[in-house]
Amino acid sequence: MSSLNATLQLLLPIRRQRLRRAESQLREATQTLTQQETALKKLWQEKETQQEQYRQEQEDFRRRLQEQAQSLDSLQQQRERTQRQIGRLRQQQQRGEDGEARCQQQQRQVADRRALLRQRQKAVEKLEFLLTLNQEP
């Protein structure tokens, strides 16, 4: 019985250390996730702003077309600018989707770490319970 108690006394600090390490990793992962969520929100806001600018540019372009006849060169330049804007919007959207995927992956990792943390907490509680049983007269 004393060897079991000695073994439990040796294991308990190790389990506690692992628990503290897991808690620290969970805090870091949560902080990283929060930062990525903030960055993702910023990307989506920038995308919305650019889309609104794009819509406004389209409206301005239509208005100018109605007000005056433009030369072929002028139309070509506007088309190129519009295509560049569309390309930037697509890149922005892709970055947003990539960020969202990273965010979801991190959320899954945080959930996994929380589950691991719960398992370790239960193991520590079991060890503490066993220690109290061994100490009873």
When divided into structural domains, the chain yields a total of 1
Domain that holds residue 19: 2-135
Q: Are 25 and 123 in contact (CB under 8 A)?
A: no
**CATH code of the domain in which 59 resides:** 1.10.287
Give the pLDDT score at 72: 73
Q: Are 11 and 127 in contact (CB under 8 A)?
A: yes
Give the pLDDT score at 69: 63
Q: How far apart are CA 110 and CA 112, in angstroms?
A: 5
User: Tens digit of pLDDT per residue, the chain (137 long)?
Assistant: 788 888 888 888 989 999 999 999 999 999 999 999 999 999 999 999 999 998 999 999 888 877 776 577 777 888 899 999 999 999 989 988 888 898 899 999 999 999 999 999 999 999 888 888 877 66
Residue environment code for 18-36, b if the CB has 16+ CB neighbours within 10 A, otherwise e? ebeebeeebeebeeebeeb
Q: How far apart are CA 43 and CA 39, in angstroms?
A: 6
